[in-house]
C-alpha cells in the first residue's frame, strides 16, 4: 500500500494492456493523450493509492480521501499540463485568476506524467503551491522536470 505524500514523485509502469488487435505502439500513442488516458488513470490511481476513492462522472474533482480532502487528476503531456478550471480552457474562454485560486485552494492535484507512457510519474501537489509556482494555471513542457523533481 502506497501512502500519499505531497511533493514526492512516484514511479509506475502500466503492464498487461491491450485493446482488440491494436499494436502496443498504437496504444502507447493513444495513452500519451490526456483525454483517453484520464478514463483509465483515474480509477487506477485509487488502486495504487488506496486512501483515494475515485469519484465517477464529471464533477469538480476526481478523488476524495477519508478526511474529505478532494483531489483532481491532471495529465502532463508533451504540451504541458493545465490545472485551470475546465470552463477557462479552450478557444474563446477567459482566464479568471481569482476563480482558479478559489478552486485550487480546495484541492490537491495529482499530476500524472504520461509523456513516456507506459512509464508514469505521479506527484501530489497542493493547489495553493501550484498556483504560487505556476500563476497562469499552466505548467509548460519545459518545466516538466522541475514539476516532477
The reported pTM is: 0.92
Residues 6+ apart with CB under 8 A from 40: 31
Name the pLDDT band for 37 (thresholds 50, 70, 90): very high
Per-position DSSP letters for 96-136, written without gaps between them? -HHHHHHHHHTEEEEEEE-TTTTEEEEEEEEHHHHHHH-TT
Q: Report how far Cα 15 is from the mean position of its chain's Cα atoms.
A: 19
Domain boundaries 9-147, corresponding CATH code: 3.40.210
Query: Is residue 128 within 8 Å of residue 83, measured between CB atoms?
Result: no
pLDDT tens profile 44-94:
999 999 999 999 886 789 999 999 999 999 999 999 999 877 655 665 666
- Rounded to whole angstroms, the Cα distance separating 129 from 99 reads 16
111 φ, ψ (degrees, to nearest 5): -90, 125
Amino acid at each position: 500500500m502506497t501512502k500519499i505524500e505531497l511533493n514526492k514523485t512516484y514511479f509506475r509502469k502500466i503492464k498487461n494492456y491491450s485493446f482488440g488487435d491494436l499494436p502496443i505502439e498504437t496504444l502507447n500513442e493513444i495513452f500519451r493523450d490526456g483525454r483517453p488516458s484520464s478514463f483509465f488513470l483515474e480509477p487506477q490511481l485509487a488502486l495504487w493509492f488506496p486512501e483515494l476513492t475515485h469519484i465517477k462522472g464529471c464533477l469538480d474533482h476526481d478523488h476524495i480521501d477519508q478526511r474529505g480532502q478532494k483531489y483532481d487528476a491532471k495529465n502532463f503531456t508533451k504540451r504541458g499540463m493545465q490545472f485551470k478550471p475546465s470552463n477557462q480552457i479552450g478557444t474563446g474562454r477567459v482566464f479568471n485568476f481569482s476563480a482558479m485560486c478559489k478552486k485550487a485552494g480546495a484541492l490537491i492535484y495529482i499530476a500524472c506524467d504520461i509523456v513516456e507512457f507506459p512509464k508514469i510519474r505521479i506527484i501530489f501537489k497542493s493547489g495553493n503551491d501550484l498556483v504560487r509556482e505556476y500563476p497562469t494555471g499552466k505548467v509548460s513542457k519545459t518545466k516538466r522536470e522541475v514539476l516532477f523533481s
